[in-house]
Amino acid sequence: MSNAEKENNHSGLDGIIEQTGIDIKDGRYPLAITNNPELYQLELRRIFGRAWVYLGHISEFEEPGDYARRYIGEDPFILTRDENGELHAFLDSCMHRGAQFCTAENGNTSHFRCPYHGWTYKNDGTLQGMPHMSEAYQDLDADEITLEEACLETYQGLVFGRIAEEGPSLEAYLGDFTWYLDVLFGATEAGMTVIGEPHRWESSHDWKTSADNFSGDSYHVLTTHQAGLETENLSKGPWEELNDFPAASYLACTDRHSMGYYLSKDEETFMGYPEEISEYLNPTLSAEQRELFGRSVFHFGTVFPNMSLIHGIQSGGWGGPWACIRKWNPRGPGTTETTSWWLVPKEFADDESFLSDSHRGWESLSPGGAFESDDLTIWEGISDSSGAVTHELRNTRGNMQQGMGAMTDEVDTIEDSLHGPAEVTSKGLYFDERNSRTILQSWYEMMSDSPEMEGEP
């Protein structure tokens, strides 16, 4: 490819990105942005190279030496706690010739030894030594050799990493969404803990599709999950109290992230947790956060770009309550590896009967689950057809116009501190697609190289 062609190609990509920015204002978007190999390469750089990306939960790294292989975009990092208790995320690439030195998913080690020439690093990333160090490296400043390390920050036990050395703090990046993360991951005094190993599976769908779905799309449940919802023979728990749903459904969007939730009128619902939960509540919750948690049935949302969450009791009586963190790992254009961790409040981590129910809730969204298994079939189809030349040549637009202009008189904006600092709409989960527009707007802002990302404190 000549330089001129490369330039054209690049401006074509920037063209579709700019088109997306214009289209969102009208609740539309070019379908061709899903599963586009060239755009994907830009996403890895402009989004995954600069955003705070979820890497793990602190409960997975309690002892010095605990490590797990985790990804930012497609880059393999090793998240570990060093001997002094500090968390680090190192790129799995030796500073000698770039060989990988970590092939297990997780474990515990004080050192990483490269299998190529034996360069060895402490788990704080510094060079410990290598074979024939005193003969072959007499003039080497060993202190200057440290593993490439991602920036790390933690909020409510959630560890995020960033490749770019400059950018907003994690709290600034999360913005008003922290208020909801307090409720979802900090509701009890001891906090949440990850149980066991995560579900992992790879499928032919674009990471944006699942990030969008989890940001607050209950509209799809009516059609996609009809089979799961119609399973009548299992008890339905707190869902039965939602006589007036979809009225009990809410959509909360901040400037970058989005979530949806269902509330019961009963302030002691607590997502169906055992009643002891009221004794474990975190005193740092505000009165509004406590009431929101008390009335909660089910929450789900997306922290842009590729972390999603669920916390609540599963619909249709398929078990629960449970919490889950999802990561949509990009694995190539139109390919995503989903990782799904199961979390429970630490206070219940030894309660076998609770764990059995909670596992069933989490499992209902496993690749074998009664719900997720249907999603994946549909998401793969989106990816397949979104690569169509027809979309590119005809500039086909998808639609996310629910809740705009005169589309509906059902949705009300709620001004009530119970719902926190985000912009919240009632019945938003069924008649308002602000969630999709919010996530796509985040995509647009990072893809269009907005200076905002770099300038924030």
Partner 1 sequence: MSSLPVSKDETPVDVETQHSVEQFLFREADLLDEFALEEWLRLLDDDILLEVPIRVARHPGSERPEFSDETNYLREDYEMIRERVGRLEKEYAWSENPRSRIRHVIGNVRVIESTETELTVANNQHVFRSYGDTADHDLLSAKRHTVLRRPDTNGDGFSIGHRTVYLDHTILNTKNLTLPLL
Q: Which residues bind partner 1 (CB under 8 A)?
A: 103-108, 195-204, 223-224, 226-228, 230-231, 233-234, 337, 342, 359-360, 363, 366-368, 370, 372-374, 376-378, 380
Report the nearest approach of partner 1 to the CB of residue 272 (Å): 18
Report the nearest approach of partner 1 to the CB of residue 335 (Å): 11
Which residue has tokens 């002094």? 84
Report the nearest approach of partner 1 to the CB of residue 399 (Å): 21
Pairwise CA distance, residues 79 & 63, whole Å: 13
- CB nearer to partner 1: pick between 293 and 322: 322
Q: Are 335 and 357 in contact (CB under 8 A)?
A: no
CA 274 to each of CA 122, 309, 313: distance values in angstroms, whole numbers, following the listed order: 44, 21, 12
Instruction: Give Cβ neighbours of residue 5 (< 8 Å, ≥ 6 apart).
Output: none
How much is the CA Rg of the chain, to the nearest whole Å? Answer: 23
Report the nearest approach of partner 1 to the CB of residue 302 (Å): 20
Pairwise CA distance, residues 423 & 4, whole Å: 45
Pairwise CA distance, residues 305 & 26, whole Å: 22
Q: What DSSP string runs through 248-273? A: TEEEEE-SS-EEEEEE-S-TT-GGG-
Pairwise CA distance, residues 263 & 13, whole Å: 42
- CB nearer to partner 1: pick between 12 and 368: 368
Report the nearest approach of partner 1 to the CB of residue 201 (Å): 4
Report the nearest approach of partner 1 to the CB of residue 230 (Å): 7
- CB nearer to partner 1: pick between 19 and 106: 106
- CB nearer to partner 1: pick between 15 and 196: 196
- CB nearer to partner 1: pick between 54 and 379: 379
The percent of the chain in helix, strand and coil, each rounded to the nearest 5, is 35, 25, 40
- CB nearer to partner 1: pick between 80 and 178: 80
